[in-house]
Amino acid sequence: MSFTDSLMAGLSLVATFEAFFALFAGICIGVVGGAIPGLSATMAVALTLPFTFSLQPITGILLLLGVYKGGIFGGSIPAILIKTPGTPASSATILDGHPMAERGEAGRALGMALWASCTADLVSNLALILFAGWLASFALSFGPPEFFALILFSLTIIAGVSGDSLLRGALSAIVGLLLATVGLDLVYGTNRFTFGDPNMMGGLNFIAVLIGLFAIPEVIAMAWNPTAHLGKARTLGQSKVTFADYRRSFKSIIRGSLIGVFLGSIPGIGAAPSAFLSYSEARRKSPNKENFGKGEIEGVAASEAGNNGVAGATLIPLLALGVPGDVITAIIIGAFMVHGLQPGPMMFLLNADIIYGLFIGLIVSSVFLFLVGSVAIRGFRFVADVPKRILMPAVLVLCIYGVFAVNNNIFDVGVMFAMGWVGYLMLRYQVPAAPFLIAFILGPLLEDNFRQSMLMSGSDPMILLRGPITWFFWALTSITIFAIVRNISRKAAI
Amino acid sequence: MKFTKLTGAVALGTMLSATAAWAEYPERAINMVIPYGAGGATDISARTIAEPLGDAVGKPLIMANVTGAGGATGSVAVQNAKGDGYTMLFARVGSHSVNPAMKATLPYTLDDFRFVTVYEINPVACAVTPASGITSMDGLIAKVAEGGVSYSSSGVGSLPHLASAMVLKEFGVANPLTDATHIPQKGGGAAVTAVLNGTATFLCTNSSALSSFVANKQMVPLLVTTSEPVVGFDAPTANELGKDVLNKLVGWTGIAGPDDLPDDVADKWGEWMAAATQDAKFNETMSARGSVIRLMDPIEANAFIQDQYKAFRDLVDELGMRIEG
Amino acid sequence: MSPKVIQFRLGMGACLAALFLAFVAIPMWVSSPSNVSNIVLSPTFWPYILTVLTGLIGLGLVFASRHSDTQIAIEDGNQLDDLSWFRLAALAVIMIVTMFALPRVGMVWATMVVFVLTAFLLRTRHPITALVCAVTIPLVLYAFFAHVAGVAIPQGNFVRLP
């Protein structure tokens, strides 16, 4: 079957009302689900899954993909408005999005988040359609040593999000790394800091830590001084994103999209590190470097491009290899299987019509995302107008429900409260929270991949330098560290 | 007229509440704990049966994923729940026979649960990549003798971990723990990826997790552990290779409550499951994923699980795989 | 607090934490099996590396504090009243009590009380709105999570919602 034939077959498959309606409905569900902290894109996809069993395969899968894409964007709404990331992927958006909202520019930040998301989504989908085969073979050359080198490099992001003191940033990161060791050991299955509590054996729930670290300190800080916010402009402001903003951030958006595509096509990394990496790269290259973390619109654009760039690209390993890149695509694979479809190289031959149908649907999804997102922003912006001393108790209650819903476990609510006090202490002592979060995500990956490499080689450290990919990332890491050290010594000299 | 209607309604209301007071189980929704994450084998199995089962029960079933520690977190949640039949667990081979056999520190034992049914059996298959050049179990065993063979799993104390050790031992490898290296991964998807990208040599896991890779010729199956061949797997059964013991090595999903679950509740579950497993769509969906539907009553289920647990426990003791501390 | 005090306290805290980890926490709470073939594979290897890093960062912070400015005082928000510490303590108590109340009383009722208490703790200027929100928000969230998302929200032992 030629390319045009496949394309026509795909078109005839998707060009139905149901397929587009499912995609549209999926994006709506996703945006709302992502906007509710704790519900997150993952849960929204899992909840939608049973409905797809009775649908046509392509309709069902488009529904799930819609939820996925909508959810990743939706997460940025509470991140900007109430400093609570709706999905882990949107935690980088907080860094600049929330300061903008505090300044009365919530509308502008949300608008930029949407524009960046849609652009990145489009880039990501195009990458999937054009380079799926090539990127997939690349993904399979990532074993534990390559992962180790990549993650080591990603940890250098910490320097980019540490604010004015690198040492305090490093301290924050180390606390994150330490807390991430709680749970069962990967290789021996023994207990680490679990104190015999079965709830601790699973490790600290990531979303509980995340929400505890960002949202709860706001509530506590308000108890310390309930009137601190008075006099600051916090009306939603009719501020809107302008085309000039978009053009100024365009480079960062494209860079972020490409980072997203690259990290998304490698199974097992996910959207949050990608958002942080994109953010720190944008900061490094930007002329307004000093303004990052204080409400710089380019920062919002970069983080949102970074996380939405992943969304299309995670389908690369899924479709081309049958390998799920993250939890969400693992659930989507379930939908394929229920319909008797087996993602993998053979699917491009056996079910080419479905593959091309999906591609067409995906391209349309970027447009739908823009439409639904615009409406959602208008709907949610009123949150910025709610009096803060009504909003804060509401955020607290919402977080309790949301964190419980993640794993149906009251213990996680306790983790969130405890992390709230840690976060508050860090706030008082001016220790930035972002390095903690990056370390908490990447720490276990670093350790696990290191130990898997050691198992593979029989404890020979040379395996960590086994091929060009590892050399590349080691070189990148060295260059970055060299640049950081030079910066510090320059500052010291002045 | 109005008055009669009202009294009628009140009378009906009292009657209904009176019958409810006789504790006709279930009088409200039942919480069903799934101890593994969304999209996993247990989750899909549980959510597929939930539909016909909900019809049989007549009250809503609320599915709750409580994940962590290889199924231990969710299992403990049910272990500590009241034995009133309103909190039940989808027990799985990993959480209720491999884990208790391997982990000394597990906060529960099999005696803390009362099994009401096992309804699904999953054959286990072992597979390698075509690039490895291995095409049969003999080839794999020969490679093990040369050294450098490794196997992946979804974590320490998971079914794939124990399965690989058991298969190697049955095929005459003297010391499976040192002659081949275990490279644990986080989760079943990562375990398959590890074999695909060459991190590990082989993997033994539920056939449903491998079927798409086998169909796509990305993996070569070497063995299935059931006595019957598995559709789509062009590999000998354990019995054809003369290793009947491996028939014990199967995955399963069942339903359990806390150990103080009353008899009448357990009986109810038996009836419901008998009705639910008759559902045509359920059977179709599950078979498409490579599962075998086999309904066991409480006694049979208990015997089956105990039997598998003992076999695993003996193997663990013999190989010194038990995790202390 | 000046930057000097902040750096110094953080540094000392990190050093103490490193000592605690090295001599108490890791030996007691990280179990390492006897059959570990190589030190780099041991479950305690990574925690010890982190401990060393914590100590180094702590020393770095203490050292850096000697060069920091003592003059600049960092604003701790505007005017503080005497009740700040009291409100912090009260919030902590609310959180602890919530943890006990959630499984026993039920999430909906517990969060209603939490809402009212926090709203008044924060001295809200809209008491009526706060009360209305306190009743409606938990109910709406319950309806959404329990009936749309199908989450088993804890119901408690007393009054159960449909």
The ipTM, to two decimals, is: 0.91
CA distance A358 to A353: 9
Q: Find, in chain B, the residue whose alpha carbon is nearest to that of C154.
A: B31
pLDDT at site B20: 42
Contacts of C150 in chain B (CB under 8 A): 62-63
b/e code B209-228 from CB counts within 10 Å (16+ = b): bbbbbbbbebbbbbbbbbee
pLDDT at site B93: 92
Q: What is the pLDDT of residues A373-413, one digit of tens each?
A: 999 988 887 777 788 888 889 889 988 998 898 888 899 99
Query: B124-248: what CATH class?
Result: alpha beta
Identify which of A200, A346, A351 has the alpha carbon closest to the alpha carbon of residue B217: A346
Report A:389-418 residues touching B (Cβ under 8 A). 407-409
If pLDDT is split at 50, 70 and 90, which confidence band does C74 have? low
Q: What is the mean pLDDT of residues B65-92?
A: 90
Q: Is the pLDDT of residue C28 over 60?
A: yes
Tokens 């955020």, residue located: A395
3-state secondary structure of B195: helix
Identity (one letter) of the amino acid at C31?
Answer: S
Q: Find, in chain B, the residue whose alpha carbon is nearest to that of C30.
A: B325
CA distance A276 to A271: 9
Contacts of C32 in chain A (CB under 8 A): 188, 190
- A71 reaches B (C-beta below 8 A): no
Neighbours of B203 (CB within 10 A): 30
User: Which residues, in sequence order, are CB contacts of A77 under 8 Å at separation 6+?
Assistant: A31, A34, A35, A86, A110, A113, A376, A377, A380
Contacts of B177 in chain A (CB under 8 A): none
Contacts of C53 in chain A (CB under 8 A): 170, 174
Q: How many CB pairs under 8 A join A and C?
A: 182
Q: Is the pLDDT of residue B135 over 80?
A: yes
Q: Do C43 and A228 touch (CB under 8 A)?
A: no
Ranges of beta strands (E only) in chain B are 30-34, 61-65, 87-92, 113-122, 124-128, 150-153, 181-184, 202-206, 220-224, 251-258, 292-296
Q: Find, in chain C, the residue whose alpha carbon is nearest to that of A430.
A: C6
pLDDT at site A232: 56
Contact present, A351 and A341 (Cβ < 8 Å): yes
pLDDT at site B228: 87
Report C:51-90 residues touching A (Cβ under 8 A). 53-54, 57-58, 60-61, 64, 74, 77-78, 80, 84, 87-88, 90
Q: Do A409 and B77 touch (CB under 8 A)?
A: yes
User: Which residues, in sequence order, are CB contacts of A292 under 8 Å at separation 6+?
Assistant: A95, A96, A279, A282, A283, A286, A298, A299
From the CA of C32, how many Å to the nearest CA of chain B?
7
Q: Do C124 and A431 touch (CB under 8 A)?
A: no
Q: Find, in chain B, the residue whose alpha carbon is nearest to that of A350.
A: B216
- Exposed, middle or buried by CB within 10 Å (0-12, 13-18, 19+), for B139? middle
Q: Do A49 and B47 touch (CB under 8 A)?
A: yes
- Where in chain C are the domains? 3-66, 84-148
If pLDDT is split at 50, 70 and 90, which confidence band does B75 have? very high
pLDDT at site B11: 43
Contact present, A253 and A456 (Cβ < 8 Å): no
Neighbours of B325 (CB within 10 A): 14
Q: Do B184 and A185 touch (CB under 8 A)?
A: no
User: pTM of the prediction?
Assistant: 0.86
Q: Is the pLDDT of residue B22 over 50?
A: no
- Exposed, middle or buried by CB within 10 Å (0-12, 13-18, 19+), for C103? middle
- A395 reaches C (C-beta below 8 A): no
3-state secondary structure of A113: helix
Q: Do B288 and A203 touch (CB under 8 A)?
A: no
Tell me the CATH number of domain B28-121+251-319, given options 3.40.190.150, 3.40.50.20, 3.20.20.70, 3.40.50.720: 3.40.190.150
| Cα-based torsion angle of the residue sequence A451, C27, B74, A403 in order, rounded to the nearest 10 degrees | -90
Neighbours of A1 (CB within 10 A): 12
Q: Is the pLDDT of residue B18 over 50?
A: no
From the CA of C162, how many Å to the nearest CA of chain A?
17
pLDDT at site A452: 93
Contacts of C31 in chain B (CB under 8 A): 324-325
pLDDT, averaged across chain B: 86
Identify which of A352, A71, A58, A409 has the alpha carbon closest to the alpha carbon of residue B37: A409
User: Which residues, in sequence order, are CB contacts of B311 under 8 Å at separation 6+?
Assistant: B245, B248
Omega before residue B26 within 30° of 0, cis: yes
With both helix axes pointing from N to C terminus, report the angle between A297-313 and A91-102 in degrees, rounded to the nearest 10. Answer: 150
Q: What is the largest CA-CA distance in chain C?
A: 66
Q: Is the pLDDT of residue B15 over 50?
A: no
CA distances from A450 to A335, B49, B252, B270, C135 (A): 33, 40, 33, 48, 51
From the CA of C85, how many Å to the nearest CA of chain A?
7
| Cα-based torsion angle of the residue sequence A243, A248, A249, A251 in order, rounded to the nearest 10 degrees | 120
Q: Do B73 and A203 touch (CB under 8 A)?
A: no
Q: Do C152 and B62 touch (CB under 8 A)?
A: yes
- A331 reaches B (C-beta below 8 A): yes
Q: Do A393 and C133 touch (CB under 8 A)?
A: yes
- A21 reaches C (C-beta below 8 A): no
Which of B31, B320, B325 has its CB closest to that of C152? B31
Q: Do B69 and A49 touch (CB under 8 A)?
A: no
C24, C66, C118, C133, best to mutate vs chain A, most A CBs in 10 Å: C118
Q: Find, in chain A, the residue whose alpha carbon is nearest to that of B324.
A: A190
If pLDDT is split at 50, 70 and 90, which confidence band does A472 have? very high
Identity (one letter) of the amino acid at A377?
Answer: I
Q: Is the pLDDT of residue A1 over 60?
A: no
Q: Is the pLDDT of residue A82 over 70?
A: yes
Q: What is the pLDDT of residues C111-155, one digit of tens each?
A: 999 999 999 888 888 889 899 999 999 999 999 888 887 888 888
Contact present, B125 and B208 (Cβ < 8 Å): no
Same fold, B28-121+251-319 and B124-248: yes
- C28 reaches A (C-beta below 8 A): no
Q: Do C152 and B64 touch (CB under 8 A)?
A: yes
Q: What is the pLDDT of residues B189-214, one digit of tens each?
A: 889 889 998 899 999 999 888 888 88
pLDDT, averaged across chain A: 86
In this complex, the chains that touch C, judged by 3 or more CB pairs closer than 8 A, are A, B
Report A:195-234 residues touching C (Cβ under 8 A). 195, 219-220, 222-228
B47, B51, B62, B88, best to mutate vs chain C, most C CBs in 10 Å: B62
Q: Is the pLDDT of residue A325 over 80?
A: no
**What residue spans of B197-297 are helical by DSSP H?**
207-215, 263-276, 280-288
3-state secondary structure of B91: strand
Q: How many CB pairs under 8 A join A and B?
A: 151
User: Which residues, in sequence order, are CB contacts of B123 under 8 Å at separation 6+?
Assistant: B206, B207, B224, B225, B226, B230, B250, B251, B290, B292
% of chain C exceeding 70 in pLDDT? 91
Q: Find, in chain C, the residue whose alpha carbon is nearest to that of A180.
A: C47
Report A:430-489 residues touching B (Cβ under 8 A). 448, 452, 455-456, 458
Q: Is the pLDDT of residue A112 over 60?
A: yes
- Where in chain A are the domains? 3-493
C28, C41, C102, C155, best to mutate vs chain B, most B CBs in 10 Å: C155
CA distances from B97 to A196, A198, B44, B251 (A): 21, 18, 20, 10
Q: Torsion-angle region of residue B115: left (phi > 0), alpha (psi -120 to 50) or beta?
A: beta
Q: Do C31 and B325 touch (CB under 8 A)?
A: yes
Which of C30, C41, C121 has its CB closest to that of A193? C30
CA distance B241 to A58: 42
Q: What is the mean pLDDT of residues A57-83?
A: 91
- Where in chain B are the domains? 28-121+251-319, 124-248
Transcribe A429-472 into DSSP letters: TT--SHHHHHHHHHHHHHHHHHHHHHHHHTS-GGGGG-SHHHHH
Identity (one letter) of the amino acid at A227?
Answer: T
Q: Is the pLDDT of residue A235 over 60?
A: no
Identify which of A62, A54, A66, A100 has the alpha carbon closest to the alpha carbon of residue A80: A100
Q: Find, in chain C, the residue whose alpha carbon is nearest to that of B86.
A: C152
CA distance B167 to B315: 11
From the CA of C116, how many Å to the nearest CA of chain B?
29
For residue B231 the two structure tokens come to 């559709």
% of chain A exceeding 70 in pLDDT? 97
Contacts of B31 in chain C (CB under 8 A): 152
If pLDDT is split at 50, 70 and 90, which confidence band does C71 have? low
- A29 reaches C (C-beta below 8 A): no
CA distance A380 to A383: 6
Which of B66, B107, B213 has its CB closest to that of A409? B66
If pLDDT is split at 50, 70 and 90, which confidence band does A269 have? confident
Q: Is the pLDDT of residue A133 over 80?
A: no
